[in-house]
């Protein structure tokens, strides 16, 4: 068999490996991070990943916690903790979805909410109404009458205009300014809305 000379040897194409990926042989392998370092670095990304898979924050938190417990139990065997954790969370999420596929998540827990008003909200509303009534009582007679015709009697501007003799535009102008002054007074007293 004939040996190939250097010039006659077939050219083998070599891929160039970026220099940053080549680790000199005299450098030690990177040390494995501690479990605490892995937890600090990966907890938030794992939670987002798990929540994207299962759609519920509480379930995602449980899955990530289970994954870290499993990692702790297999710490000596795991070479790449980050990849291992993401794979573990994915598997746990798929198992959870499979085991709970017939469950329907409750929307905002509406079934458990009481229809009775919150006592603090009710008290705040009563205080706001009481303050508003005091402020309306302090208005000039004309402004108080316009507010009463509009909000107690439910009249429209043209009907108020007929009863008071003011033009429709003047009714709107006076009502606007009376209501603006009431709102400013309520804000100064610390009442931002009817809920207190």
Within a 10 A sphere around the Cβ of 42, how many other Cβ atoms?
21
Burial 155-182 (b: 16+ CB within 10 A, else e): bebeebbeebebeeeebeebbeebeeeb
Q: What is the mean pLDDT of the chain?
A: 78
pTM of the predicted protein model:
0.40
| Separation of CA 27 from chain center | 46
- Give the lowest-confidence range in 51-60, 66-75, 95-104: 95-104
pLDDT over threshold 50, residue 22 = no
CA distances from 193 to 13, 58, 151, 187 (A): 76, 34, 17, 9
With a CB cutoff of 8 Å and minimum separation 6, the contacts of 160 are 146, 149, 150, 166, 171
Q: What is the pLDDT of residues 89-136, one digit of tens each?
A: 999 999 998 888 776 555 555 555 656 666 777 767 777 777 777 788
Domain extent listing, the chain: 31-99, 119-188
**pLDDT number for residue 160:** 92
Q: Which CATH architecture has domain 119-188?
A: Orthogonal Bundle (1.10)
Q: How confident is the model at residue 23 (pLDDT cuts 50, 70, 90)?
A: very low
CATH topology of domain 31-99: Rna Polymerase Sigma Factor; Chain: A (1.10.1740)
Mean pLDDT of 55-67: 93
């Amino acid at each position: 068999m004939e040996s190939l000379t250097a010039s006659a040897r077939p050219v083998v194409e070599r891929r160039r490996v970026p220099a940053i990926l080549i680790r000199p042989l005299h450098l030690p392998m990177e040390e494995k991070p501690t479990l605490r370092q892995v937890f600090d670095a990966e907890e938030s990304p794992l939670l987002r990943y798990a929540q994207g898979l299962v759609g519920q924050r509480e379930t995602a938190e449980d899955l990530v916690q289970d994954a870290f417990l499993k990692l702790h139990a297999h710490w000596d065997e795991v070479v790449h903790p980050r990849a291992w954790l993401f794979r573990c969370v994915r598997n746990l999420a798929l198992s959870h979805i499979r085991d709970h596929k017939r469950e329907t998540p409750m929307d905002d827990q509406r079934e458990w909410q009481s229809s009775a008003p919150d006592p603090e909200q009710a008290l705040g509303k009563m205080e706001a109404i009481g303050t508003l009534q005091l402020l309306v009582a302090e208005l000039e007679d004309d402004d108080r009458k316009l507010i009463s015709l509009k909000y107690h009697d439910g009249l429209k501007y043209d009907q108020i205009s007929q009863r008071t003799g003011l033009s429709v535009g003047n009714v709107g102008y006076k009502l606007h300014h009376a209501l603006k002054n009431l709102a400013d007074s309520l804000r100064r007293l610390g009442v931002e809305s009817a809920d207190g």
